[in-house]
Chains A and B, each alone.
Chain A
Amino acid sequence: MANLRLINITKFFGTVPAVSDVNLEVTDGEFIVLVGPSGCGKSTLLRLIAGLETDHAGEIIIDGNNINHVPPKNRDIAMVFQNYALYPHMTVYQNMAFGLKMRKISKEEIDNRVLEAAKILKLQDLLNRKSKALSGGQQQRVALGRAIVRKPKLFLFDEPLSNLDAKLRVAMRGELIKLHKKLGTTMIYVTHDQVEAMSMGDRLVVLHEGKVQQIGKPLGIYEHPANLFVAGFIGSPPMNLFHCKIRKDAQRFTIVTDDFELTLPDTFLQVIKSSNLPDNRVILGVRPEDIHEMRPEICPPLKQQISARIEYIEPLGSEVFATCTSGKHEFIVRFSAKTDIHPDQKIKLVIDMERSCFFHPTKENELTMNNNESGDLS
């Protein structure tokens, strides 16, 4: 088990910055997920930690020791690759034992460790099979086994589930969570799949264009994305964004769009007042589940109702996503599966303003009094 610190890590490929000034502290036994779209630098960051990429600025520290110049084999880490990188000419046993053999561990110890890992991963019956004769799921487990037998300080996973079909991916996700609980080892996991990230990580590191956008607990990031990029990337469907203006009435602040008006809740008053908003413009962010169909018992003033038209629906069994339009605004609303809705239906909606977020229209960051609530902003 290990503590990992990344201090001002920067890596260029030619003149293109792949990773820019990344700072991260991972505590012992934590499951950290690096998440972001393709090309955001998450795999490069993982490879820097592994020692597979070099020539970077900044410091990589494991348990207080700077490992910048330590070769990969001496970093006491294990890595699971996206395509598993199993040695196709070797059997499952040989694949799992290879790292131990290279470290000159005794035959008896190798046997014990491989059998123990095979038991955990249910690979006992496959030990004598060639790795190329295995299914994707089995190969994935062998790759995990190869990492486990080494008993490393740190596990690195580079999108290990992305080659599996949807069903197997969900199953393996659960297996990995269980494995982390059982081993208690520090794990760093790279994925572009935000569902995977949300469900697996103790903390997420959201990356974009080589820069850390936000670090925090999954739910914290979901509820309070640090900026418009995170708001759009985390959550499926993404957060709805409305470009609005703030109008000060006699006693209250009102959020005004061309198509509807909403009263600003008292909780946001201080934030809005203290933010230097150009032309009083602001971006309102609302998650699809925070927009509700208006019911008679919660009937807000007429202007705060959103008259919308359902363009199309996506029934998912447990819920229905409806893409709605109101004037020039298009947004997605999450309904329960039992809700009777259909395309072209006209509907009255209300927004749960207490759960909304506000973003600066030019800086694009979330307007909040205490950013630590949603995690440490970079």
Chain B
Amino acid sequence: MNQIKSYHISSRPKATIKLGLPISALICYLSLSLMALFYIAPIVYMVVSSLKPDSRVLTDGGSILAFIPVEGSLRNFQDVFRRVSFGRVMFNSMFITGMIMVCGLVVNALAGYALARLQWRGREVVLTFILALMIIPFETIAVPLFYQVSIIGWRDSYHVQIIPFIADAFSIYLFYSFFIGMPRELEEAARIDGAGPWRTLLYIIVPLARPVFATVAILTFLMRWGSYLWPLMVTTGETYRPLPVAMAAFENQVKLWGDIMAFGVMMVAPILIVFLLFQGWFVKGVAASGTGQKQ
């Protein structure tokens, strides 16, 4: 009798609505949609506003019209190019971010590998030190660093914006956590197969670590592309100024919201392109770094 009772209980269908979804799933989807809307809305607002005449940006701001491109044109974008040397600042940002990303991948990957795989005295101390560095906000070291680069005469240059950011504790940690979980036998097999340390790194380790390379590349790009405080401190003119600082200067100069939004759209576009290109690897890399599953 008990068995029959329990059968009836367990076989009772869950409450569903007409879509065929259980209510719990519906609530979940609804919450997620609201959250997505919350995050997407400012971006849509920025894109739509960049296409509108400046007078409409503020008047439409309080209504649904803010998300509808009425009287759309590319005039704001033309204005940006007319008022500032946008190509120059875009190049500056691209060059600085690209150099940090490429050099960072090499330096941080090697550091992560050395910490994970090579046996040397003081390895644990260095690792602990690097992990501790992750929790120190940049703002706290900005002034001493500024003082230091001023002494050596690095201000107003590309390298002052590149070199201090190549080695990055978080990137090293990501590489370290990937390499530490990689089967040691792969490297040993390569050693027996006749590969030296560099060829093992090049032919075996790097191809297997592609997801984590992509993750670090994207994270570095995102972090450095939007960097504002440091470039503001160390640059004085347009020659070496990157996009975020140029945008702030542009805002103070023109006070036209349509133009500012157009500037913003052009600044965000490369990030979106980079993310969309490497999205698959990025997800894989994050998952692999988190779970220790490498292959």
Contact = CB atoms under 8 A, between A and B. Distances in A.
A and B associate: yes
Interface of A: 50-52, 71-73, 77-79, 81-83, 85-89, 98-99, 102-103, 132, 146, 150
B295 A73 contact: no
B195 interface: yes
A146 B185 CA distance: 14
Interface in B184-204: 185-186, 188-196, 199, 203-204
Nearest to A71: B191
Contacts of A71: 191
Contact of B195 (A52, A73, A88, A150): A73
A83 B183 contact: yes
A88 B208 contact: yes
Contacts of B185: 81-83, 85
Interface string B207-224: 110000000000000000
Contacts of B192: 50-52, 72-73, 77-79, 99
Contacts, number: 59
A87 B199 contact: no
Contacts of B194: 73, 99, 102-103
B295 A102 contact: no
* Chain A interface mostly: loop
Contacts of A86: 189
* Chain B interface mostly: helix
15 contacts: A50-B188, A73-B195, A81-B185, A81-B188, A82-B185, A85-B186, A85-B189, A86-B189, A87-B189, A87-B190, A88-B295, A98-B203, A99-B192, A102-B193, A150-B193
Interface size class of B (residues with CB under 8 A): 10 to 19
A99 B208 contact: no
Given A73-B191, A81-B185, 8 more contacts: A51-B191, A52-B191, A77-B192, A79-B192, A81-B189, A83-B185, A85-B183, A99-B194
The 9 closest A-B CB pairs, nearest first, are A99-B193, A102-B194, A85-B185, A85-B189, A73-B194, A88-B295, A81-B185, A89-B207, A72-B191
Nearest to B203: A98
A331 B26 CA distance: 65
Contacts of B193: 73, 98-99, 102, 146, 150
Contacts of B186: 85, 87
Contacts of B199: 102
B183 A89 contact: no
Contact of B188 (A85, A146, A150): A85
B223 to A, nearest CB: 28
A132 B183 CA distance: 14
Contacts of A98: 190, 193, 195, 203
Contacts of B208: 87-89
Nearest to A104: B194
A40 B195 CA distance: 30
Contacts of B204: 87
Contacts of A132: 295
